[in-house]
Amino acid sequence: MSKNQNILIIGAGLCGSLLALRMAQRGFQVTLVEKRPDLRKIIQDAGRSINLALSDRGLRGLRIAGVEEAAKKLCIPMNGRMIHDKAGNTFLSPYSGRKNEYINSVSRPGLNMLLLDEAEKMPNVKIIFNHACENVDLENASAVFKEFNSDKEITISADVIFGTDGAGSAVRKNMYENHKFLFSFSQQWLGHGYKELEIPAAENNGYRTYKNALHIWPRGEDMLIALPNLDGSFTVTLFLPYENNDYCFANLTTPEMVHEYFNKEYPDVVEMIPNLSEEFFNNPIGPLGTVKCSPWNSFGKVLLLGDAAHAIVPFYGQGMNASFEDVVVFDEILEKYASEENINWNTILKEYESKRINDTDAIADLAVDNFHEMKEHTAMEIFQNKRKLETAFEAEFPEEYYSKYSLVTFKESISYSEAMKRGRAQDKAILNLLDDGKLTEEMSLKEKLELVKKETQAILHDDEVAFG
Amino acid sequence: MSKNQNILIIGAGLCGSLLALRMAQRGFQVTLVEKRPDLRKIIQDAGRSINLALSDRGLRGLRIAGVEEAAKKLCIPMNGRMIHDKAGNTFLSPYSGRKNEYINSVSRPGLNMLLLDEAEKMPNVKIIFNHACENVDLENASAVFKEFNSDKEITISADVIFGTDGAGSAVRKNMYENHKFLFSFSQQWLGHGYKELEIPAAENNGYRTYKNALHIWPRGEDMLIALPNLDGSFTVTLFLPYENNDYCFANLTTPEMVHEYFNKEYPDVVEMIPNLSEEFFNNPIGPLGTVKCSPWNSFGKVLLLGDAAHAIVPFYGQGMNASFEDVVVFDEILEKYASEENINWNTILKEYESKRINDTDAIADLAVDNFHEMKEHTAMEIFQNKRKLETAFEAEFPEEYYSKYSLVTFKESISYSEAMKRGRAQDKAILNLLDDGKLTEEMSLKEKLELVKKETQAILHDDEVAFG
């Protein structure tokens, strides 16, 4: 594969930085351009999602670029969901019955800085900050950027361009507006927005609530979650309907209303957030959207990856993981053609999309499903019983059973789409067996597992016959 | 309800013309603006879909405006699908086991002219042709139009605006580009395009093949269909992949290739289309897309209806029917508030969307499903056996059984979303019972029906438990 190819990567967030690093490791000449200032040199904005869940699929992406161990130093393991009821009672619902399966809370800027540092160490990577993409010539692989301070424009040409410029991608906009091919596109907004708050560290960087969990306060239509940070603080996120709810962003307009709402729904949180209403009114409301599109590649010259190709809602903790897995899948295809003399980007970009798109569609749908699971189902008895049974299966028969959550989160060897299909069938099997009273107390755990497996197979078979 | 309200309707196609007529009948002051010339005064373009399927939901819309009988004079009943195999053998698969249930082939321009004529008869309707919508002020209900010949701009203000300007709606574009609210939007293109051809009339306006059917030549990935016209001709539509198929638009580039393809796949059609390759190369390739969006209403001032709100692929024959049903649903809501002194458009527009959107989403999905059914399943034995059984149920037990097709097409008293839910469960029940050999020859038809009903209920119950 000829290494003197010039690669232009637009967007130096998590996906773009990792891709730049990996492409440089493969010997390509990489230019990485970012709209924002170098985040290593500025103070972070409040109110942007500052910690994320990192799990196996994401770690695999970091591993192939040799930065997994460095990244793990930024991580706080979360072993399960800690559910908080209105009375302040809590219980921990483990993410898996297997001891070694957990997810990690990691700082978005911290991880991004690590990746930028590593990319910058490569002699064949050039990083340009403060340049916003104005226009992409899709047919000729060149892009125009405007410098933030001076408004001066520069044009960069390349052999191939990667658009890793996030959910609001400027590269994707050029595809949407191009009329030489049919571009399927969807943006779907939830009726809920989010707002970030902070539980500050206790004295000596202590944690004000249990450190190693993702905390959830499920309340049906609304919910609060919290993820731990290394400094002892938690980043709290409120998910709330914009309107048409007893409490919603439209009516939480005064400090009194905010306190009334929190005192009623999240009394144990109120005492942990000293400046509740101040933070509430200072921080922005963020929208929650899913973006899908196709094709990701145009003219064999430009490819979308990461959120630019598939932005998802945060409820499966898979946004970053999916983006890093994009890099893994793309890298595998590059590897396949590595011995060929001439590189055929058109073939590679198309093969990547056809291998990947069903999986990113699946995780997008799973993430929306999980919103309902988190805000409603975690508080419902039948779903709690299902989780208990699955955790027991995983603890007792670790090789034989993976819940949908485990398939998606920990089983990187199977794809998101396969995880969705098997996971949904399993969920349906267990819920129906529970509802029909067919999992009786007399049965051994092994008997229950066999019955669940049999019912799952029957569901998959019936769907196959009916829907192909 | 105050009648001096000014109503601006943008788009005088089928939906806009019917809406204008109905709103005028309710006493509103209606201005109807159309981008194209008055189609009653020009010669029609070739290659645009010139006949459509009109069925019960659409007829209901025409009925409330008092034009059902006039429209029926333009109709040719089609009693079923006539399936043509490669050897030229045909068999008729009825649309229903009930004698009085059929769909109609109707001329799009013919029906549109009828509606324009009727609207124009109303003293409170003003129709303006040749004016393209340039911009809509969504917050103030005014729109700017440019005259086609002179480029002169006019601005029209109203109390409320209806965007009925079709799949490529300019009104919708204004909502998409407005950043004061979150606009969910999707456009999904099939990998297939379509091309129209014509089977001309035989001598004395005779029909070259069976008149009262929708003809289908299902070939797996590609298909041909034909609908009859009043003058003895048939409008033929080829649905073919753009690329990556043995035969596709990308490789049918010479008269020889076109004849090779048609001789191989549709030998009985070749002899009926005298100028096959000429027509093939003269007529455009049309794309096949689904558009969904939400909200349909902005600021209580502007509402999308018809294809502008929900463009669907043509495979259920429901595009026009869904648009006419929009007018029915909207009219029912107007009726509900008819006795109130002051009209609250914001309430009415919101209520309309919340009542309607699940149903138009459902028919959009059903139409894509039906593409696969038509091009593949109609040629498969298990699906043919299902249809035979369903037709027998409907003939023998007309009050007790409605197939999915009948629920969608003939059962206007239930919504599209309910028809989809019940119909899909029924399909799954029958296909699985057939596959499992549980519908035996010894059973009476009544016993089979009872088993199908029981299995359908079990499927609906299991889905309810698992997915709520």
Shortest CA distance from B189: residue in chain A: A184
pLDDT at residue number A1:
59
pLDDT at residue number A374:
80
Q: Please list every residue in chain B whose beta carbon sits closer than 8 Å to the beta carbon of residue A432.
A: 462, 465-466
pLDDT at residue number A47:
44
Residues of A with CB under 8 A from a CB of B: 182-189, 287, 289, 292, 372, 427-428, 431-432, 435, 462-463, 465-468
Q: Is the same domain home to B158 and B214?
A: no
Q: Is the same domain home to A252 and A322?
A: no
**What is the DSSP code (8-state) at residue A44?**
P
Nearest to B428 among A185, A372, A466 (CB): A466
Q: Is the same domain home to A361 and A443?
A: no
Confidence bin at B1 (pLDDT 50/70/90): low
* Percent of chain B scoring above 90 in pLDDT: 89
Q: Please list every residue in chain A whose beta carbon sits closer than 8 Å to the beta carbon of residue B189.
A: 182-184
pLDDT at residue number B264:
96
Taking an 8 Å cut-off on Cβ atoms, the answer to whether A187 and B186 are in contact is yes
Nearest to A465 among B182, B432, B468 (CB): B432
- Asked which of B246, B271, B287 is the last residue of a domain, the reply is B287
Nearest to A187 among B184, B432, B466 (CB): B184
Q: Please list every residue in chain B whose beta carbon sits closer than 8 Å to the beta carbon of residue A468.
A: 372
Query: Nearest-CA distance from A250 to chain B in Å?
Result: 13
- The CATH code of the domain that includes A314 is 3.50.50.60
Comparing CA positions, the residue from A160, A190, A184 lying closest to residue A312 is: A190
Range of the domain at A392: 380-467
Shortest CA distance from A292: residue in chain B: B186
Nearest to B187 among A185, A463, A468 (CB): A185
Q: Which of A188, A192, A464 to mutate to test the interface with B (most CBs of B within 10 A)?
A: A188
Range B75-86 average pLDDT: 95
Nearest to B189 among A182, A462, A465 (CB): A182
* Percent of chain A scoring above 70 in pLDDT: 98
Q: Is the same domain home to B226 and B181?
A: no
Query: Nearest-CA distance from B110 to chain A in Å?
Result: 31
Query: pLDDT for A190-210, tens place per residue?
Result: 999 999 999 999 998 899 999
State how many domains chain A has. Answer: 3
Taking an 8 Å cut-off on Cβ atoms, the answer to whether B184 and A184 are in contact is no
pLDDT at residue number B319:
97
Query: pLDDT for A306-345, tens place per residue?
Result: 999 999 999 999 999 999 999 999 999 999 999 988 899 9
CA distance B8 to B31: 5
Range B264-285 average pLDDT: 95
Q: Is the same domain home to B246 and B281?
A: yes
C-alpha distances in Å from residue A390, one per residue of A100, A369, A402, A448, B264: 16, 18, 8, 10, 55
Q: Please tell me the least confidently modeled range out of A365-379, B38-52, B128-142.
A: B38-52
For residue A98, is it within any domain?
no
Query: Nearest-CA distance from A432 to chain B in Å?
Result: 6
For residue A32, is it within any domain?
yes
- Asked which of B307, B341, B373 is the last residue of a domain, the reply is B373
pLDDT at residue number B410:
97
Query: pLDDT for B86-128, tens place per residue?
Result: 999 999 989 999 989 999 999 999 999 999 999 999 999 999 9
Query: Nearest-CA distance from A245 to chain B in Å?
Result: 16
Query: pLDDT for B426-436, tens place per residue?
Result: 999 999 999 99
Shortest CA distance from A189: residue in chain B: B184
For residue A102, is it within any domain?
no
For residue A360, is it within any domain?
yes
Shortest CA distance from A386: residue in chain B: B466
- Asked which of A287, A308, A330 is the last residue of a domain, the reply is A287
> What mean pLDDT, rounded, does chain A reach?
95
Q: Is the same domain home to A459 and A408?
A: yes
Assign 3-class secondary structure to A319-379. Answer: HHHHHHHHHHHHHHHHHHCCCCCCCCHHHHHHHHHHHHHHHHHHHHHHHHHHHHHHHCHHH
On the question of pLDDT at A378 being above 80, the answer is no
Q: Please list every residue in chain B whose beta carbon sits closer than 8 Å to the beta carbon of residue A466.
A: 427-428, 431-432
Taking an 8 Å cut-off on Cβ atoms, the answer to whether B185 and A187 are in contact is yes
What DSSP element (H or E) covers A164? none
For residue B257, is it within any domain?
yes
Query: Nearest-CA distance from A422 to chain B in Å?
Result: 14
Confidence bin at B47 (pLDDT 50/70/90): very low
The SS3 of residue B303 is: strand
CA distance A49 to A225: 12
Taking an 8 Å cut-off on Cβ atoms, the answer to whether A431 and B465 are in contact is yes
Range B323-327 average pLDDT: 98
Size of interface A-B (CB pairs under 8 A): 56
On the question of pLDDT at A295 being above 60, the answer is yes
Nearest to B186 among A185, A428, A466 (CB): A185
Q: Please list every residue in chain A whose beta carbon sits closer than 8 Å to the beta carbon of residue B465.
A: 428, 431-432, 435
Q: Is the same domain home to A308 and A207?
A: no
What DSSP element (H or E) covers B333? helix B319-336
Residues of B with CB under 8 A from a CB of A: 182-189, 287, 289, 292, 372, 427-428, 431-432, 435, 462-463, 465-468
For residue A240, is it within any domain?
yes
On the question of pLDDT at A46 being above 70, the answer is no
> What mean pLDDT, rounded, does chain B reach?
95
On the question of pLDDT at B458 being above 50, the answer is yes
Q: Is the same domain home to A283 and A293?
A: no
- One-letter amino acid at B126 equals K
Taking an 8 Å cut-off on Cβ atoms, the answer to whether A432 and B467 are in contact is no
Q: Is the same domain home to A31 and A156?
A: yes
* Dihedral sign for Cα atoms in the order B35, B38, B42, B46: positive
Q: Is the same domain home to B388 and B346?
A: no
pLDDT at residue number A181:
94
pLDDT at residue number B380:
83
Taking an 8 Å cut-off on Cβ atoms, the answer to whether A186 and B187 are in contact is yes
Q: Please tell me the least confidently modeled range out of A168-182, A214-228, B365-379.
A: B365-379
Q: Residues 6 or more apart from A106 whose CB is under 8 A from it?
A: A51, A52, A53, A54, A71, A74, A75, A76
Q: Is the same domain home to B278 and B299?
A: no
* Percent of chain B scoring above 70 in pLDDT: 98
Q: What residue spans of B73-217 are helical by DSSP H? A: 108-121, 170-177
Query: Nearest-CA distance from B428 to chain A in Å?
Result: 5
Strand-pair partners of A234: A199, A228
Shortest CA distance from B192: residue in chain A: A182
Q: Residues 6 or more apart from A347 whose CB is under 8 A from it?
A: A300, A337
Q: Is the same domain home to B272 and B208?
A: yes
The encoded tokens of residue A36 equal 């924002």
pLDDT at residue number B468:
76
Shortest CA distance from A193: residue in chain B: B182
Q: Which residue has the higher pLDDT, B221 or A363?
A: A363
Q: Please list every residue in chain A whose beta carbon sits closer than 8 Å to the beta carbon of residue B435.
A: 465
Query: pLDDT for A232-256, tens place per residue?
Result: 999 999 999 999 999 999 999 999 9
Strand-pair partners of A30: A7, A125
The encoded tokens of residue B331 equal 């009219």
Q: Please list every residue in chain B whose beta carbon sits closer than 8 Å to the beta carbon of residue A421.
A: none
For residue B89, is it within any domain?
no
Q: Which of B178, B188, B370, B433 to mutate to test the interface with A (most CBs of A within 10 A)?
A: B188
pLDDT at residue number A140:
97
Query: pLDDT for A9-42, tens place per residue?
Result: 999 999 999 999 999 999 999 999 999 999 999 8
CA distance A225 to A196: 10
Taking an 8 Å cut-off on Cβ atoms, the answer to whether B462 and A189 are in contact is no
CA distance A437 to A413: 34
Nearest to B184 among A182, A184, A188 (CB): A188
For residue B95, is it within any domain?
no
Query: Nearest-CA distance from B464 to chain A in Å?
Result: 9
Q: Which of B184, B288, B382 to mutate to test the interface with A (most CBs of A within 10 A)?
A: B184
